Structures are given as structure tokens and as C-alpha cells.
A = this chain, B = another copy of it.
Amino acid sequence: MHATVIENLIEKFEQLPGIGRKSAERIAFHILEHMSKEDAVSMSNIITEAKEKITLCPVCQNLTDTSPCKICSSPKRDNSVICVVESPEDVSAIEATNEFNGLYHVLHGSLSPMDGITPDDIKINELLLRLSDSTVKEVIMATNPTVNGTATAVYISKLLAPFDVKVTRIAHGIPIGSDLEYADKITLIKALEGRQTM
């Protein structure tokens, strides 16, 4: 027996990823009870503003409010290396390491014949366009180690064969800090296969 407006607010938050009914209620009541009117208006504005201002970078296809994006336009980045990822979240995760200084390419998904996602549905052609001159020397396939992610990496690496670029795949193995005995079989096999001289 919530007021209709409250019910609408709860339902909006319930649609967000990771938010169930109970969390959505908690958030809605927080906004109504504890958030100042200014804060609520500012939250509302930032949602529409973000949606209006954020577009895909014409070069790397990452989400951006400049064109090209900050990473693509930075003179400090090494433009001979492109790291191919599935989503903008993956770019954030790699950037957070502060260890990669090259450029990115965001596919916005992975090939999935079961779900009808074909090469034309993700940003593969945009990647090929970036290889038209000989600036890029290496393409790192950093798609997820899932069936679809791996298939996508293999598919793209074949497409890249005619180009004069080195195509690499990020390493798979035992995550740091975890316990060998709890690793799954496939990870263990990959870790053995990928062993390196100490």
C-alpha cells in the first residue's frame, strides 16, 4: 500500500543491476527521508546529463564525454599497442592497475551465436579500421576467459592475420593470493601450459 509515486521510485531502482526489491525500497526511502531536495535534484540531473553527454569514442569505442576520449587523445599513451576488451568496465579495471600505457578497443560484447550476436553486432570493423596504417604493432586480446570471450579472441586473431601486427592473449592461470588446491581444473591446466622460466 505504498503511494504510487513511491512504488514507481522503488520499481525504477529495482531495474538496476544488483538491486533487489528490499534494496530498492531502502534506497527509495533514503531518498525520500534523508536526502535533501537539492541532492535529489542533483542526482536526477546527473543521470540525464550523463546520458546526454556520454557517447562512444569514435576511435576506441569506450564511453567518453570528449571526442576522441582522454586516453586516445593523450600524447603520453603508447599508440603502438591496442588492448581489446569486451566492456568499458574492463577498461576501468585495467586502468586501475596503472600498469598499461597503450590504447584500448572496446568491443561492447562478445560473439555469441546462441544469442544471435554476430561479428557485425560488436565493434570489430572499427578495430580493423584502426590497423589501416602501420602505427599499431601489437593487439592484446583481453576478452574474458569464457567460451564466448575466447571464441571472440580467436575469431579476431584470425581476422588480424593479414595485418603486420603481433596478436597476443592475456595470461590465464592461478590468481595471486588464491590457493592452488581450490583452483578449477581448466585454470590449473592453463597455469601449467603457460609456465615460464624463473
Give the B-binding residues of A (Cβ under 8 A). 1-6, 8-9, 12, 15-19, 23, 25-33, 35, 37, 39-51, 53-54, 63-66, 69-71, 87-89, 92, 95, 108
Which residues of chain B are near A65, meaning CB under 8 Å? 3-6
Is the CB–CB distance between B17 and A30 below 8 Å?
A: yes
The complex places the Cα of A49 from the Cα of B44 at a distance, in Å, of 10
Interface-central residue, A28, A33, A39, A51, by most chain B CB under 10 Å? A51
Of A1, A23, A40, A41, which is in contact with the most chain B CB atoms at under 10 Å from its CB?
Answer: A1
The interface residues of chain A, by DSSP majority, are classed as helix
Q: Which of B27, B43, B64 contacts A17 (CB 8 A)?
A: B27
Flag if B51 contacts A8 (CB, 8 Å): no
Contact at A31–B47, with CB atoms within 8 Å?
yes
- Contact B54 A44, beta carbon cutoff 8 Å: no
CB–CB B51/A12 < 8 A: no
Residue of B whose beta carbon sits closest to that of A106: B33
**Cβ–Cβ contact B40 & A51, under 8 A:** yes
Query: How distant is the Cα of A31 from the Cα of B29 in the complex, in angstroms?
Result: 21
Which B residues are in CB contact (< 8 Å) with A46? 5, 8-9, 12
Whether B108 and A33, one on each chain, are in contact in the complex, defined by CB atoms closer than 8 angstroms, is yes
A17 CA to B35 CA, complexed, in Å: 11
